[in-house]
Amino acid sequence: MVLSYKGMDGQAHQGQLVVNADRVDELIKIFGQLYQMRYPIAKMLTPDHYVNADDELSMEDNNTSGYNCRDIPDTDRWSYHAYGRAIDINPLINPYHDVNGVQPKNGGPYLDRTRRDPGLLHDGDQTVLAFTDRGWTWGGHWTDPIDYQHFELR
Ligand SMILES: [Zn+2]
């Protein structure tokens, strides 16, 4: 799906998000809200922009993405990304963290959640509420792992 978003430059951009057809209507509404509130998104490219559609490279590049055929890190269970029912937003500055460390590997400085970088998500943010008010789960509410970039609708 093609979505409009505000970039880190404050300008309007169009991005591509690969999601399950049954999540398209919801995400159009949510991203419409994010656009209205001028929540900045670094980039929104399909996984094929990265060698082997590598999620680590996509995350290191702070790329917002949806579908990715992969399992949950350090498990053999399929992630909701494999069904196109989860999205990761600005993943470099909103990293994933578990006992084995941080993903992407250059995301360490952003585990400091007192930071106020544009696009960095905090509990109670309008951006987070745009999802959770519609029944989506935010990985920033989890404790192990913590996944600040991650939203999914089960
Ligand atoms: Zn995710």
pLDDT in tens, 1-57: 999 999 999 999 999 999 999 999 999 999 999 999 999 999 999 989 999 888 899
Res. 154: pLDDT tops 80: yes
Dihedral sign of CA atoms 148, 137, 22, 35 in order: negative
Cβ atoms 95, 104 nearer than 8 A: yes
Confidence of residue 71 (pLDDT cuts 50, 70, 90): low
Amino acid 72: pLDDT: 67
Domain assignment of residue 102, given as a range = 2-152
For the chain, the domain total comes to 1
Of 67-81, 88-102, 104-118, give the lowest mean pLDDT range. Answer: 67-81
Q: How far, in Å, is the centroid of ligand 1 from the Cα of 78?
A: 11
For the chain, percent of residues with pLDDT exceeding 90: 79
Distance from Cα 149 to the centre of ligand 1, integer Å:
6
- Give the Cβ contact number of residue 116 at 10 Å: 7
What's the pTM?
Answer: 0.93
Mean pLDDT of the chain: 93
Tell me, what's the pLDDT at 78?
Answer: 74
Which token pair is 102? 């941080």
State in Å: Cα 3 to ligand 1 middle.
18
Contact (CB, 8 A) for 58 and 122: no
Q: Under a CB-based contact definition with an 8 Å cutoff, are residues 56 and 103 in contact?
A: yes
